[in-house]
Amino acid sequence: MALAGIAKVERNEAGIETVVGILRQRYGERFQTGQAIRDQHGHTMTYIPGQAPDGVFFAEAAEEVQEVVRICADHRVPVIPFGTGSSLEGHVNAPGGGISVDLSKMNRVLAVHAEDLDCTVEPGVTRTQLNEYLRDTGLFFPIDPGADASLGGMASTRASGTNAVRYGTMRENVISLTAVMPDGRLVTTAKRARKSSAGYDLTRLLVGSEGTLGIITSLTLKLHGIPQAISGGVCPFPSMEAACNAVIGTIQMGVPVARIELINGLGMKSINAYAKLNYPEGPCLFVEFHGSDAGVAEQAEMFGEVAAEYGGGPFQWTTVAEERAKLWKARHDAYWAGMALRPGAKSLSTDVCVPISRLADCIVETEADIAESGLTAPIVGHAGDGNFHVLVLADMDDADELARMEAFVDRLNMRAIAMDGTCTGEHGIGQGKMQFLQHELGPAVDYMRAVKQALDPLNIMNPGKIFPLEG
């Protein structure tokens, strides 16, 4: 399973033993070494085998994270940050052992600056927790990767999701971070101003660095006004190409679509079966529009016209909250609906992203590849960004099927890269995609490695992720 690329990290047994002893004495119950907790912190959401850390520290303050990082640095022991464990490429695994720093208890909303449309949170705050906290302010945090991930984890993997097409990804929505660096110092990467040209963009360097350059201990995030009105609907299309052309047309017309999600025929079939619905079982776009009452009606009408141009329809849309909720529940259930296509199977959620002019080509070729490979694999996509996921369902005990799955995923990543796209739009590299990063960016990876070596010369921060380093 593409594990050829997974880097070995040598275990420093003596160092680990020393650090475990120090932390046990220093923190008592806040430092856990029981097998179940360790396994839970080195689990993965997909096919990558779990690699448990040697102990789990439940941090409650940045100063504690600093202390643990300093102790680990002194003894050259790996430190692996942990949010909710919902990452998909083995990010929380501990290939060389070491200490998992669980940030879930650092879950306070530190400040909401409503006039500035921003807030500052600890890294363990989850996106639904934040939005519940904001409920009475008229503001919300838009990024929705599906899972109720922690915001620190979402920043670390440069997460996005269904409404990135309008609101951007974590790249665009993090104003500033504080982080414990590999030498144990705490830095603030930027002030709270919306714009800055003050030196190198350390904020964006840490966003997406997957815990390999530092541990985020607070984040200042952009918030957005809850729109006055929301409209949404579902529109079937005669072909994948027609659906993708409608996406391109909608965006080119400047319709500020908030969500435009593509589900292929098998995906729609799985949703119908799972939720007892009766949508057409071909490619469909799920769309949502945010704005004024007049604005969302206008946007829905403009979309409907574009869709009809490409043979799509009927496009049924509504501004009624309950009906919209039902519609988006169907979309959000796509993962579980897909899983239900093959009870007992495990899933692998892939993640490629291409220029949207190539989205139809990429999906059509991928559907053919799935069929030729004899795999069961519905497709859902954040079509406005050119990003899509194939949910490959496989029997983990069937070596032949696993080999076909691995070969398929390899081809999918290389296909996206060949189309001037990326092997990961939002899940990250982790352990699973290191060799594809090399294919994708070649020499640029050498400079990433140089940055890593400059900031973490001991290679203690989440080692064995993104790129192999000499041990």
Contacts of 265 (CB under 8 A, 6+ apart): 281, 282, 283
Smaller CB distance to a second copy: residue 247 or 405?
247
Select the residue interacting with a second copy from 186, 364, 414, 458 (CB under 8 A). 186
Q: How far is the CB of 203 from a second copy (least distance, A)?
A: 8
**Cβ neighbours of residue 20 closer than 8 Å, sequence gap 6 or more:** 33, 54, 55, 99
435 binds a second copy (CB under 8 A): no
**Total binding residues toward a second copy, as defined by CB under 8 A:** 96
User: Minimum CB separation from a second copy for residue 309, in Å?
Assistant: 15
CA distances for 78 relative to 54, 95, 420, 425, angstroms? 10, 9, 35, 27
Q: Residue 169: helix, strand or coil by DSSP?
A: coil
Q: Tell me the sheet residues that pair with 176.
A: 220
**Sheet strands (E) in 170-240:** 174-180, 186-188, 215-222, 224-225, 229-236
Of 204, 185, 183, give the one whose Cα is nearest residue 457: 183
The C-alpha atoms of residue 1 and residue 37 are separated, in whole angstroms, by 26
> Considering the complex, what minimum distance in angstroms separates the CB of residue 171 from a second copy?
7
113 binds a second copy (CB under 8 A): yes
Residue 295 CB, shortest distance to a second copy, in Å, is 6
- What burial class does residue 103 get, using C-beta atoms within 10 Å of its C-beta: 0-12 exposed, 13-18 middle, 19+ buried? buried
Binding of a second copy at residue 298 (CB under 8 A)? yes
- What is the rounded CA–CA span in Å between residue 425 and residue 353? 5
Between CA 396 and CA 404, with CA 402 as vertex, the angle to 5 degrees is 155
Which positions from 197 through 256 interact with a second copy, judged by CB under 8 A? 197-202, 204-205, 207-209, 213, 224-225, 227-228, 248, 251-254, 256
Taking the complex as a whole, how short is the minimal distance between the CB of residue 216 and a second copy, in angstroms? 14
Q: Is the peptide bond before 314 cis (omega within 30 degrees of 0)?
A: yes
Per CB under 8 A, the segment of 3-11, 264-272, 286-294, 312-320 that binds a second copy is 286-294
| Dihedral sign, Cα of residue 299, residue 303, residue 305, residue 306 | positive
Q: At 348, which amino acid appears?
A: L
78, 97, 283, 421: residue in contact with a second copy (rule CB under 8 A): 421
The site map against a second copy for 314-353 (x = CB under 8 A) is -------------------------------------x-x
Regarding 160 and contact with a second copy (CB under 8 A), the answer is yes
Closest residue by Cα to residue 304 from 384, 252, 359, 249: 249
Site membership for a second copy, residue 309 (CB under 8 A) = no
Q: Footprint of a second copy on residues 34-73 (CB under 8 A)? A: none
Phi/psi-derived region of residue 374, left when phi > 0, alpha when psi is between -120 and 50, beta in every other case: left
Residue in 48, 121, 190, 363 binding a second copy, rule: CB under 8 A: 190
425 is an interface residue for a second copy by CB under 8 A: yes
| Interaction residues for a second copy, span 353-412 (CB under 8 A) | 353-357, 385-387
- Binder of a second copy out of 22, 441, 458, 469 (CB under 8 A): 441
Is the Cβ of residue 281 or residue 361 nearer to a second copy in the bound state? Answer: 361
Select from 3, 320, 325, 450 the one that contacts a second copy (CB under 8 A). 450
Q: Does 168 contact a second copy by CB under 8 A?
A: yes
Return the closest-CA partner of residue 19 out of 95, 100, 98, 82.
98
Q: Does 117 bind a second copy (CB under 8 A)?
A: yes
The minimum distance between CB 97 and a second copy, in angstroms, equals 24
To a second copy, the closest distance from the beta carbon of 321 in angstroms equals 18
CB atoms near residue 101 (< 10 Å): 26
Q: Which of residues 138-157 bind a second copy (CB under 8 A)?
A: 138, 157
Query: Taking CB under 8 A as the rule, does residue 1 contact a second copy?
Result: no
Window of 32-40, 121-129, 366-374, 419-427 that interacts with a second copy by CB under 8 A: 419-427
In the complex with a second copy, the residue whose CB is nearer, 283 or 432, is 432
